[in-house]
Structure 1
Amino acid sequence: MIQISHVTKKFGQNISLDNVSCEFRKNESIALMGANGAGKTTLIRSILGYYHPDAGEVLINGLNPVKKRVDVLSHISFVPQLPPPIKLSIDELIQYVCVSAEVDKELVKHYANEMKLDINANLNKSFFKLSGGMKQKLLIAISLAKKSDIIIYDEPTANLDPKARDDFYRLLKQNEQEKVLLFVTHRLEEVQELVNRQIYMDMGKIVSDERF
């Protein structure tokens, strides 16, 4: 589903990705690890079509994520480490997602409720003014409701309390079939029961790739 072939990405003289090749397939749950600056974020942004590789090729379900970005993103849910500064109310944000990505509003509310986030009591609140934990819960609910083939989480539990983390992992276990789940994480112990593959990056290269 995701093919990364000999991808190099430079920023000035800095090589962020150095001839990286790997594939992510259905029913794989991957922990992507490495120190800051290892190339993890650049790899994710290349998958999302934010970055155009200087060399090599990225294909998502056979499509180039830069040239066919709308089509590619229709298959991907992405929850960033830092929630974006969205100025919409929760109601407006959900309406936008439902129209633009054909997501069921009631399903968003269902997953939010499972994450112990009361949508109805907060509909008119600005997303921007929510607590970090509430933002994360809503973005996770949207990512699950979208029913994507590929779900990418960048440090998804950074703003969640232990109970919310348990809820998150429970929901993922219920929704992991026929998907690629990709976790960018420094907390391997938290996702260890969910993942069946661990990739470690350093200095723009994949230095280990273990399936189990």
Structure 2
Amino acid sequence: MIKINNLTKKFGSHVSLDSVTCEFNKNEAIALMGANGAGKTTLIRSILGYYHPDAGNVSINGLDPIKQRVEVLKEISFVPQLPPPIKLNIDELIQYISISAEVDKEKIKYYANEMKLDLNSNMNKSFFKLSGGMKQKLLIAISLAKKSNIIIYDEPTANLDPKARDDFYRLLKQNEEEKVLLFVTHRLEEVKDLVNRQIYMDMGKVVSDDKI
């Protein structure tokens, strides 16, 4: 599903990714770990087509995430560590997602309800003004409703209370088949019951890659 071949990305003289080669396949749930500056975020942004590589390439289901970015992003749901500063209210945001990404609005509402997020009483509130936990719950609901083949979560539980984390894990367990789940995390214990593969990065390289 995701093939990364000798991927190198530099920012000035700094090498953020140093000839990284790996594959992520369906039915894999991967914890991507490493210290700040290890290259994790650069790798994710390369998968999403944000960065042009200096060498090597990325392939998503046979597609180039830069040249065929629209098609690639249809295959991926991504929840960033820091929610984007969206100024739309919740109703407008759901309408936009429904039209632009062809996501069933009722599915978004269903998963939001499963995450104990009361959408009906907050439809006119700006996404930007929601609490961190509410933003995270809504983004998770959208990611699950999209029914993507590849779901990437960057520190997904950072703004969630313990009960919301349990709801998140339960919903992922129900939706993990035939997918790639990729968790960027500093806390393996939080996703250890979900993942079956663990990758450590350091100084732009994959230093260990183990099935668990």
TM-score (norm 1): 1.00
1:119-170, Cα deviation, whole Å (9 max, x unpaired): 1110000000000000000000000000000000000000000000000000
Task: Return the letter of the residue paired with 1:124.
Answer: N
Gaps of 5+ in 1: none
Tell me the SS of whatever aligns to 1:206.
strand
Is 1:69 the counterpart of 2:54? The answer is no
TM-score (norm 2): 1.00
The 5 A counterparts of 1:118-197 are: 118-197=118-197
Distance 2:106 2:121 in 1: 15
Distance 1:12 1:91 in 2: 42
Any runs of at least 4 consecutive aligned residues in structure 1 with deviations exceeding 6 A, and if so which? none
Distance 1:153 1:196 in 2: 15
Distance 2:64 2:54 in 1: 14
Which position in structure 2 is the counterpart of 1:31?
31
Which position in structure 1 is the counterpart of 2:109?
109
Give the deviation of 1:13 after TM superposition.
0.2
Distance 2:136 2:81 in 1: 9
Identical-pair percentage? 83
1:27-53, Cα deviation, whole Å (9 max, x unpaired): 000000000000000000000000011
Give the deviation of 1:116 after TM superposition.
0.3
Task: Return the letter of the residue paired with 2:197.
Answer: R
Give the deviation of 1:96 after TM superposition.
0.3
Is 1:54 the counterpart of 2:54? The answer is yes
Give the deviation of 1:80 after TM superposition.
0.1
Distance 2:61 2:169 in 1: 26
Which position in structure 2 is the counterpart of 1:3?
3
Gaps of 5+ in 2: none
Distance 1:74 1:14 in 2: 32
Give the deviation of 1:185 after TM superposition.
0.3
1:46-89, Cα deviation, whole Å (9 max, x unpaired): 00000011000100000000000000000000000000000000
Task: Return the letter of the residue paired with 2:110.
Answer: H
Distance 2:64 2:55 in 1: 13
RMSD of the alignment, in Å?
Answer: 0.4
